[in-house]
Structure 1
Amino acid sequence: MTLIALDDICFAYPGQAPVLNGANLRLEAGQRLSLTGPNGAGKSTLLRITLGLQRPSSGAVTVFGKPRQAEADFHEVRRHIGLVFQDPDDQLFCPTVAEDIAFGPLNLGKTRDEALAIVDRVLGDLNLMHLKERTTHKLSGGEKRLITLATVLAMEPQALLLDEPTNALDTKNEARLLEILQSLPQAILLVSHSPAFRDALAPDRLELRDGKLVAV
């Protein structure tokens, strides 16, 4: 089953040359795929286009078999595809870890008790229960990264989009993150500057060259 299909995607920031110029991508259920290319090639832009956070100037976005164009089309997409941002501080905004993780499930209509049960389950699965009552902004960079992943997993997504997930991680936390991600069933679309991390998690690779995706 094809979860994400991007066809002939073109995109340019105002006043700049096109970043994407006919990019095509398929992500199948359970697949792990890396996007590579130099800084500024458009990798993060592609992730954002997949979720409707940016709109292509032309081309088609199809997710879960349905074309996605209007803002309303992407509401379902964002419920079922989780994006882990480059900077955890862009994603964590509640006073405590438990509140941050419960935020998504509560927005999906879960009761408070149901949301708290999800918090406990996700933190237990990730062996992070000791962080449950911590103040979010006082976490270390590595802890923030892992809690950001927990907030996304609480939504029970079908796929994960990971934008430089090892940024600011020490060796120990990078190994822990890799162990967690390798154990997950979700399809993964990975942007990472670390060849070792890419090879271990998502060895299938597409490279952005001149605005197009090329198998390498």
Structure 2
Amino acid sequence: MSLIELRDIRFAYPGHGEVLKGASMALGDGERLAVTGHNGAGKSTLLRMMVGLLKPSSGEVHAFGERRMTEVDFGPVRRGAGLVFQDPDDQLFCPTVAEDIAFGPLNLGQSRDEAMAQVEQVLTLLDLRYLRDRITHKLSGGEKRLVSLAAVLAMSPQVLLLDEPTNALDEENEERLVDILQSLPQAMVLISHDPHFRRKIATRELRMQDGVLVAPDGKCRHTSTGA
């Protein structure tokens, strides 16, 4: 069974032509799928579709064994699939790093003590304990990106959705990110323009082309290799 599957998804932003024109894909357990394509091809739109932040005009979204259609349907999906936005400022809004990371676990119903234990665990995992009490909006772009990943990992998702995760990272922090992602058990969908990064992380690659997803050989691919 696929963890997340999109079937013939079509979508257009108001006042614009269709950006998705029948996109289909499936993510298998443990798989790390890279999605490539030019700017504006619909890659970020695809990730938002997976967690219900955007709704298709036609087609089906399936996640964790069920078809998801309504806002209520997507509640469990957002707990199980953690989206790391391309711009960390869209994700981080609490005064300090620790509070930003604790926000998700607290919203999932954990006690303050449980949430702070998650904060400590994730900061240790990512070697970011030195940022714990820093003011979030004063961090560098690269630090914000790593804290965004920490905030998502604190909710223990089954799937990671990563939108250009290496943006604003220097070489040292990019290598740290690679080591972190290689060590994680979660299935992933990652968007990246960096072929070297994709080769280090992805187990499979699809390209967004003319509103559909195609394999590197140019053929449409609707299912995962792990499904």
Q: Same fold (TM over 0.5)?
A: yes
In the alignment, what sits opposite 1:200?
A: 200
Deviation of the 1:52 alpha carbon: 0.4
- Asked if residue 35 in structure 1 is aligned to residue 40 in structure 2, the reply is no
Cα distance in 1 for partners of 2:161, 2:193 equals 15
Deviation of the 1:89 alpha carbon: 0.8
Letter in 1 for 2:30: G
Deviation of the 1:208 alpha carbon: 1.0
User: TM-score if structure 1 supplies the norm length?
Assistant: 0.98
- Aligned alpha-carbon RMSD (Å): 0.8
Taking the TM superposition and a 5 Å limit, the aligned residue runs for 1:1-216 are: 1-216=1-216
In the alignment, what sits opposite 2:222?
A: none
Cα distance in 1 for partners of 2:127, 2:170 equals 18
Letter in 1 for 2:89: D
Cα distance in 1 for partners of 2:9, 2:63 equals 14
Report if aligned partners of 2:162, 2:191 keep a CA contact under 8 Å in 1. yes
Cα distance in 2 for partners of 1:121, 1:15 equals 45
User: TM-score if structure 2 supplies the norm length?
Assistant: 0.93
Deviation of the 1:15 alpha carbon: 2.1
**SS of the residue aligned with 1:196?**
helix
Q: Give aligned-pair identity as a percent.
A: 66
Q: Which runs of 5+ in 1 are unaligned?
A: none
Structure 1 runs (4+) deviating above 2 angstroms are none
**SS of the residue aligned with 1:157?**
coil
Deviation of the 1:197 alpha carbon: 0.5
Cα distance in 2 for partners of 1:173, 1:66 equals 37
Report if aligned partners of 2:126, 2:180 keep a CA contact under 8 Å in 1. yes
Letter in 2 for 1:116: M
**SS of the residue aligned with 1:19?**
strand
What does the per-residue CA deviation read over 1:162-200, in whole Å, with 9 as the maximum and x for residues that have no partner? 000111111111111111111100001010010100111
Letter in 1 for 2:191: V
Letter in 1 for 2:113: D
Cα distance in 2 for partners of 1:137, 1:97 equals 9
**SS of the residue aligned with 2:61?**
strand
Give the number of equivalent residue pairs.
216
Cα distance in 2 for partners of 1:178, 1:2 equals 25
